[in-house]
Amino acid sequence: MSAVAEPSRTVLLLNGPNLNLLGTRDPEQYGTVTLDEVERQVVALGVELGVEVVCAQSNSEGVMVDRIHSARHWAGVVLNPGAYAHYGIALRDAIDAVEVPVVEVHISNIYAREEFRHTSVTAPVAAGYVAGCGVFGYELALRAVLRRDAERRA
C-alpha cells in the first residue's frame, strides 16, 4: 500500500478471490474489462472527487482481513468479496469491527445466479450494497462510501 498522506481522504478498493482474472474469467458473466482497468477508472473518479483510492486484490481471506484493518482510519472501503461473501465469516467480522463504511459490490446480479450465491454473510454488516451493475457498480460504491463517510463525520 502507498503511504497515505491524509487517511480521512483515502478509500481502499479491495477485490477478493479470482477477481484478478477479470476480463478473461467467464466474460459472459463478468464482461471483458480487466481488474487493472477497473482500478484505473475508480482511481480516476477518486481524483475527481478529491480522494486517494488505494487498490488491492487478494485470493486469501486473511490478507483481505488485514487490508480492511489497515483502512480502519480511512474514509472507507469499496469491497468486492467475491465468493467470500457467501461464507467468509472472518471477513464479515472484520467489516463489523471497523467503524468506517464498507460498501459491498458485485459485478453480476448474484440473485440471478446459482442459489448458493443468494446469501451474503458480509452484506448485513456493510454500510451499503451494489450488485448487478457491471463494473460501473464500483463507481457507485465509491460514491456511496464517500456519502456514508460524510454522514458519519457530520
User: Would you name the residues annotated as active-site residues?
Assistant: 30, 106
Render the chain in DSSP notation, one character per residue.
-PPPS-GGGEEEEEE-TTGGGTTTS-HHHH-S--HHHHHHHHHHHHHHHT-EEEEEE-S-HHHHHHHHHHTTTSSEEEEE-TTHHHH-HHHHHHHHH--S-EEEEESS-GGGS-GGGS--SSGGGSSEEEESSTTHHHHHHHHHHHHHHHHHH-
